[in-house]
Amino acid sequence: MNIAKKTSMVIALLGILIAVIAFGSDTSSQETGRRHNGLPPEAYTPCEGKNAGDKAEFVSPHGDTVTGICVQEGDQLVLRPDRPPRRDSDGRAGKNSSD
């Protein structure tokens, strides 16, 4: 095999690798249901139709009622919990420490 064919194959393989990595990154954020800034969709829904500073609440996937205040986050309002969930050792949100 000559050098031109080897170079073409290496470039093609690198292109495929980059595409796979980019696609994998995009789907992992979609699978977790989180927005790019790490906030779950549940943080946005309770503040729809409200103003910054309004109180809001929602029921978490764990069945807990989360209360807080709507704050401006970029161009949207997001619920800032009164009691943010503690993080597990692997970085995932867990239950509040006093629950």
pLDDT at position 13, please?
78
Residue predicted with more confidence, 6 or 15:
6
DSSP state of 87: B
Average pLDDT over residues 37-50: 83
Residue predicted with more confidence, 45 or 30:
45
- What is the pTM assigned to this prediction? 0.49
Neighbours of 96 (CB within 10 A): 14
Average pLDDT over residues 20-37: 53
Given a cut of 80, is residue 95 above it in pLDDT?
no
**3-state DSSP helix/strand/coil percent for the chain, to nearest 5?**
35, 20, 40
Domain limits, the chain: 1-31, 39-85
Structure tokens at 6: 């080897």
Average pLDDT over residues 63-79: 91
Name the 3-class secondary structure at 12: helix
